[in-house]
Chains A and B, each alone.
Chain A
Amino acid sequence: MREAAFLLFGGAMIISALLAVTRRNPVHAALWLVLTMLSLAGVYLALGAVFLAMAQIFVYAGAIMVLFLFVVMLVGAPVEELKTPFRKGSLWGVVAAGAVFVAFLTRMPALERVRVVVFEVTARALASPLIGSGGNWGRHALAFELGSVLVVAAILGAILMVRTGREEISEEADDDR
């Protein structure tokens, strides 16, 4: 059952990832990335990482993809770029990536003997290292709290970058008048 789910979602993930990097239109690339993220959540479920699968769907397929689609709609792609979406000599890029893949595979055959023990990691199991349990701090409690500070900093940084751009544009519009 888990093997079948692993193979099904893994295959779907590879196919949609290939489509995501080869589609001409950035909107299509972003939409295929959504399917890649959902399939990866399925792979997590098959391996028993239930909380991580939910986080993957909420954060990646939800929040991050909305941001991507918003920016694609805002920026768009000119027609001449849609005709030539790849760089010159992109064949060498494919060759390099393929060489890295072969290098990975040739270094890993010892892993074939290593079993994967599937067990479920729920939110409760993750809470004890991240937040703490029984009145004790978790091992990563400080990093976890600093993470929230980082998110706030990232949001403020993003707003600041986009906002200053808009003021420059309105100043240019004032100059034109």
Chain B
Amino acid sequence: MIVNAYSVEALAAALFCIGLAGVLIRRNLIVVFVSVELMLNAVNLNLVALTRRADLLVPVEGDAVALFVILLAACEVAVGLGILVALYRRFGSVAIEDVGRLKE
């Protein structure tokens, strides 16, 4: 059987690290947000794998929590994109160097 806990968690880790790299290297805030979504989904895949691990025996708990994460992600995207539009109106740009006023 190819699909053991290691292969699923390695897939989730790869997705998480691609998202992490995106957060670290991109300039555009929209693409940074896209990368954060990738990281959230990696955690969800981990929860789904956790439900099905033979050594843990938690029948549906992980899937229920994953559904909560999807719900929270929907809220987070609505608020985050609202902030993004407000930032664009204030600064005229969504590049991360242009919205760092709090640092000054």
Asked whether, in the complex, the Cβ of B70 is within 8 Å of the Cβ of A60, the reply is yes
Do residues A117 and B54 form an inter-chain contact, with CB atoms below 8 A? yes
Q: How far is the CB of A108 from chain B (nearest CB, A)?
A: 6
Option from A2, A86, A108, A155 in Cβ contact (under 8 Å) with B6:
A108
Question: CA–CA, A151 to B75, complex, Å?
Answer: 6
Docked Cα-Cα span, A40 to B37, in Å, equals 12
Complex: A121 Cα to B74 Cα, angstroms: 22
Interface of chain A, helix or strand or loop or mixed? helix
Q: How many A-B residue pairs have CB under 8 A?
A: 262
Please list 29 pairs of residues, one from A and one from B, whose beta carbons are closer than 8 Å in the complex, sorted by A's number.
Answer: A2-B3, A7-B2, A14-B11, A21-B35, A30-B30, A36-B41, A47-B52, A48-B52, A49-B51, A52-B67, A60-B41, A70-B81, A71-B30, A74-B88, A75-B84, A77-B28, A90-B24, A92-B24, A97-B20, A108-B9, A108-B10, A111-B4, A112-B5, A116-B3, A116-B5, A126-B64, A126-B67, A129-B61, A159-B82
B71: interface (CB < 8 Å): yes
